[in-house]
Amino acid sequence: MDRRTFAVLCELLRGTGRLKIDGLVSVEEQVCMFLHILAHHVKNRTIHNRFQRSGETVSRYFNSVLCAVLQLHNILLISPDPVPENCTDEKWKWFKNCLGALDGTFIQVHVPEVDKPRFRSRKGEIATNVLGVCSRDMIFTFVLPGWEGSASDSRVLRDALSRPTGLKVPTGMDVGGISEVNEQERRGGRRVWTKEEEDALLSILDEIVANGGRADCGSFKSGTVKNIETRMACAIPNCGLKAVPHIESKLKFWKKQYGIVYDMLNTSGFGWNDVRKCIEVDSDEAWKSYVQHHKQAEGFRGKHFPLYERLANIFGKDRANGKAAQTPDQQAADFDEGDNSGNEFEIPESFSPMSMNQSQSDFYGNQAVSQSSCRKRLRSKSTDPIASSMNRFSDMMKEAMEKTTEAFKEFGQILATNKANEYERIAHELQRINIRRVDQVRVMKMFVQKPEIAGIFKASDSDEDKQQFIMEILAGEFDD
């Protein structure tokens, strides 16, 4: 990216993205930190050292720029133009009406331990499945992030097509890869399983799952299907069932049925009748709306499906649900709603991109520091004269800290007695030195939580000192 492109991006973020200067950090520096994190895949502490900003400041500005970039989706994501009939380009004239290409990509993420099975891809990586669509000029036209890594590309694509603000394909265009196959033709050469064979297969699968033969993503480990073939031959001699295609096909069929029912039960308005072992729907309107976007669910309303509980144990309940997946339009709308409610560019900490990049080494590092300090305290109890002097000095410091704490408590009691008048005077002082309203609220909250900081503010002599002190508070210098 050259300087001109960088300047254009900053201007777009400042205007359309509504990115503002917060404190002492300019828009250009905010964008620099954001681009550096994305381009070099570095962590919070690296930016902290390189830009000399606190970790909280880096995370806050990263989220602010990210929200501003999402506001540019109407500019960055273009509407594709199909290849015209009279195209003379040697490369594209053979692809009449072609809009572009789409594909899914896995991006590694850090998620809570309980969510890892849903995010584990078929290659064993903890990742999110992102659908990207681009035109023939390699310009993105649609992006759908947020799906778990265990979700298949076809499932993500169906979700993108079913969303109101999702991927739109003009009438008459073919969406390659999701064309429906006639059900009767598909069943043409399928082997009919007996009830005895199905029960035997389910029992074998239950044993395999109990012995740890299933991976976190719900699929079975390598060699499992061949093992099932051998055990089926022992359980039912002369059954003639082979690993491929009989057992493998049956597993795919059951997993597909389980996935259809699972997705329905995770949709509002759908429930499970434990007596009849079937799906129940609250209203006909909810059913028609669901079937309109999920053709495979036709026929499952009220259908007796007694295998659901057993299949849930076999294929695992940690199945991708796509609840975190959002199109840029939906994300921008959520940010606008938060902006209108007074929470400008507020993002839950659990979904913070910076928190997702933080490794577990920070936690274990803190544990190591704690253990090291414990060992130091044990060594300080020796009879060495230097250690004894250090102990006396530690006692003196402890006593001084206790006195300081008592002084702060007394100061807090004084503030509590006259808090209404005191906070009113502080609020007038903040307005007088021209501090933004949102920053005034943050500073006042800090003063209420930590009265000692309010005392330092009042003790400042000049407006310049007070303003500098407030900037340090906003930068997170006094955060615990």
Q: What are the φ and ψ backbone dihedral angles of 250, each rounded to 5 degrees?
A: -65, -40
> For strand 140-148 and strand 127-134, is the pairing parallel, antiparallel, or unpaired?
antiparallel
Give me the DSSP letters along 368-434: HHHHHHHHHHHHTTSS-HHHHHHHHHHHHHHHHHHHHHHHHHHHHHHHHHTHHHHHHHHHHHHHHTT
Name the pLDDT band for 96 (thresholds 50, 70, 90). confident
Residue 34 has a pLDDT of 94
Determine the pLDDT at residue 454: 76
Query: What does the alpha-carbon distance between residue 13 and residue 75 come to, in Å, rounded to a whole number?
Result: 11
User: What b/e string do you get for 355-387 counting C-beta neighbours within 10 Å, with b at 16 or more?
Assistant: eebbeeeeeeeeeeeeeeeeeeeeeeeeeeeee
Which position has the higher pLDDT, 101 or 371?
101
Range from 126-130, 265-269, 463-467 carrying the lowest mean pLDDT: 463-467
pLDDT exceeds 70 at position 87: yes
Q: Which two tokens stand for residue 226?
A: 């061949």
Paired tokens of 118: 């849903």
Q: How confident is the model at residue 350 (pLDDT cuts 50, 70, 90)?
A: very low
Summarize pLDDT for 296-344 with one digit per residue, the tens: 888 888 889 888 888 888 886 556 767 778 888 787 777 777 666 544 4
Residue 345 has pLDDT above 60, yes or no: no
Q: Furthest-apart CA pair in the chain: how many Å?
A: 96
Strands, E assignment, 40-151? 101-108, 127-134, 140-148
Which residue type sits at 13?
L
Q: Is the pLDDT of residue 393 over 50?
A: yes
Q: Cβ of 283: how many Cβ atoms within 10 Å?
A: 9
> What's the mean pLDDT in 164-187?
55
pLDDT over threshold 60, residue 366: no
| 87-98: average pLDDT | 86
Q: Quick one: pLDDT at residue 6?
A: 92
Contacts of residue 319, Cβ cutoff 8 Å, sequence gap at least 6: 118, 150, 218, 259, 262
pLDDT range class, residue 12, cuts 50, 70, 90: very high
What single-letter amino acid sits at 217? C
What is the residue-averaged pLDDT of the chain?
Answer: 78
CA–CA dist 401, 396 (Å, integer):
9
Would residue 112 be called left, alpha or beta, if left means φ above 0 and alpha means ψ between -120 and 50 degrees?
beta
Flag whether pLDDT at 220 surpasses 70.
Answer: yes
| pLDDT score, position 189 | 56
Show the tokens assigned to 340: 């209108």
Q: How many CB atoms lie within 10 A of CB 8?
A: 12
Q: What is the pTM of this model?
A: 0.51
Q: Which of 74, 81, 79 is nearest to 99 (CA)?
A: 81
**pLDDT value at 9 more than 90:** yes
Per-residue model confidence as pLDDT tens digits over 402-426: 777 776 776 666 655 666 667 777 7
